[in-house]
């Protein structure tokens, strides 16, 4: 079942309330990476903008490895969500060494990236069960 814009908005509201929000990616070798995010917001009915300080390389150097997930967990409620999708665009949005524009390199140490993610599915996670919406 496809996630509706209303359901996606509900997940983004939960992410704003939670302190446990991670961006999960996998590199070409299959090694996972988890990065705490600073901010996420809904940009339209199926896309989310994510800001995070990360060492994830720019999309152009990832050889098609654009799949990612946003993990949201509320420890008090024992409930959370996983947004699975793929990156459409990423850009460096923080100044680096006093410059407002930097040239993208294959690998820079921790830079602030803004990533636009197309959401393919939402997993409703809770102790004792889960529910899934697929697009």
Burial of 63 (0-12, 13-18, 19+ CB in 10 A): exposed
Q: Degrees (nearest 5) of the Cα angle 99, 100, 101? A: 95
CATH number at residue 85: 2.30.110.10
Neighbours of 22 (CB within 10 A): 16
For residue 25, pLDDT over 50 is answered with: yes
Nearest-angstrom CA–CA distance, 46 and 23: 17
Instruction: Compare 32 and 58 and report the one with higher pLDDT.
Output: 32
Considering only CA atoms, give the Rg of the chain: 15
Q: Which tokens is 7 given?
A: 């359901």
Lowest mean pLDDT among 4-8, 17-21, 94-98: 94-98
Mapped onto helix, strand or coil, the DSSP state of residue 15 is helix
This prediction's pTM? 0.77
- Total structural domains in the chain? 1
State which residues form the domain around 61. 5-97+105-134
């Amino acid at each position: 079942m496809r996630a509706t814009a209303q359901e996606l908005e509900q997940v983004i509201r939960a992410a704003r309330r939670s302190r446990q929000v991670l961006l999960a990616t996998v590199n070409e070798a299959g090694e996972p990476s988890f990065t705490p995010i600073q901010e996420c917001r809904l940009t339209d009915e199926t896309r989310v903008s994510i800001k995070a300080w990360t060492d994830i390389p720019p999309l152009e150097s990832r050889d098609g490895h654009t799949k990612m997930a946003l993990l949201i967990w509320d420890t008090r409620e024992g409930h959370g969500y996983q947004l699975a999708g793929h990156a459409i665009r990423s850009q460096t949005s923080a100044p680096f060494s006093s410059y407002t524009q930097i040239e993208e390199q294959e690998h820079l140490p921790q830079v602030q990236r803004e990533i636009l993610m197309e959401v393919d599915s939402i997993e409703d996670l809770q102790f004792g069960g889960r529910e899934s919406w697929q697009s």
